[in-house]
Amino acid sequence: MSPVRFVQFLIAVISVCVSIPAQTPVVVYEDSTGYSGQFNDSANEYGDEIILSGTARLVTQFQFEYYGGFVPQGNESARVRFYANTGPAWQNTKYWITPAPTPLFETLIPVGTGFNTATITVPYVQVPDHFTWTIQFFGVTMTANDSAGLLFYGVPTIGKGYTNDFWELLPIGWTPLGVSGLINNFAAKITAVDAVPPPPALNATANGGDFVLSWPATMTGLYLESRPAVDSGVWTPVYPQALRVGDVFQISMPMSEGMRIFRLNSQPQSPLTIVADISAVRVRWSAAVGGQKLQTKTALAGSWVDVPTPSRPVGDYYEAVSPTTNSAAFFRLMRTF
């Protein structure tokens, strides 16, 4: 990092927390032919242990196919995880090494009805030559008219899979299960690169009494964040969002705002502000980051429930209002993708 000093003692330290493609990703696993006509509609977490081809191991994109058979209520979602297979051996059998206790990567996405292909951007997560990817569906009861599941496909055309079984997390732990008469692989496609590309350039200039930050317009999907010190404070999205001016994105702000540290981030986490009074709890977050939904629960061990979330900001923030209750409440923001 290099500090740049401006008038009125404004200091900008430029850092980057971002995923920018610089090399062409290659497909290291694909299983997209030979649909069996069946899907797995378990409520548990389950998934496929796979073996990648080639040498690229920094995953940039993950695709999978699923079927949703339900009447949409707005809370249907799926959590995707990657695990290294470094857990304990199942029943002390050396050929069945279970997924590790901690995932390498996870994300939550909304799910829809019918046959779907979900595409997830993965921020250069390094995976081993073989690992397990899993799914768990939420908001569906896995009954006849309210279910969702991964599609059973054939043998992978790129990479390899274990055709006799898949992993499922049961109350007794990870267990290999299989459906008789089927190749027990799920439809998926993974692309990866060999190395993380260099970060984009964030430029800082003075223009009269304003401080102007800009970066190349080819670098889309980035948010500018700031905090008051190099090694302390919370990263907060800068509002209003950058505008495209020619071949750059640009944000201008008065120098009188004092010292700030800036960075670009492709996956910003907007901090929550909670204001409570006798009648309501008001939860606010920056309008600089859209595509979020607010969730709440009454205990740390409880289940998250969606809160009605505004689609438009109030000035420079979003605000969700909930009635005041006598019980504790926890809140979080989730990206809706």
- Does residue 45 sit in the same domain as residue 155? yes
Q: CB under 8 Å to 257, separation ≥6 — which residues?
A: 10
- Does residue 305 sit in the same domain as residue 182? no
CA–CA gap between residue 201 and residue 15 (Å, rounded): 9
The answer to whether the Cα torsion of 153, 158, 162, 163 is positive or negative is positive
Among 158, 193, 228, identify where a domain stops.
193
Q: Are 275 and 321 in contact (CB under 8 A)?
A: no
CATH number for the domain including 211? 2.60.40
- Does residue 48 sit in the same domain as residue 128? yes
- Does residue 14 sit in the same domain as residue 142? no
Of 204, 317, 328, 223, the residue nearest 267 (C-alpha) = 223
- Does residue 278 sit in the same domain as residue 329? yes
Q: Specify burial of residue 44 (Cβ count, 10 A radius: 0-12, 13-18, 19+).
A: middle
Of 159, 157, 150, the residue nearest 187 (C-alpha) = 150
Task: Report the largest interatomic distance among the alpha carbons of the chain, rounded to a whole angstrom.
Answer: 74
Count how many domains the chain has.
3
Q: Are 194 and 23 in contact (CB under 8 A)?
A: yes
Q: SS3 of 103, please?
A: coil
Q: CB under 8 Å to 108, separation ≥6 — which residues?
A: 77, 78, 79, 80, 334, 335
Record the tokens describing residue 300, joined without a space.
């740390």
Q: In order along the chain (337 residues), what is the average pLDDT of each group of 10 residues?
A: 32 47 82 92 95 95 95 89 96 91 93 93 93 96 93 95 94 94 94 84 82 82 82 80 85 77 78 79 78 80 79 78 79 72
Among 215, 234, 265, identify where a domain stops.
265
Cβ neighbours of 222 (radius 10 Å): 23
Beta bridge partners of 318: 285
**Backbone dihedral angles phi then psi of residue 295, each to the nearest 5 degrees:** -130, 155
- Does residue 182 sit in the same domain as residue 305? no
Task: Give the residue numbers spanning the domain of 45.
Answer: 26-193
- Does residue 188 sit in the same domain as residue 287? no
Query: Looking at residue 146, what is its pLDDT?
Result: 94
- Does residue 164 sit in the same domain as residue 281? no
- Does residue 175 sit in the same domain as residue 247? no
What is this structure's pTM?
A: 0.63
- Does residue 112 sit in the same domain as residue 162? yes
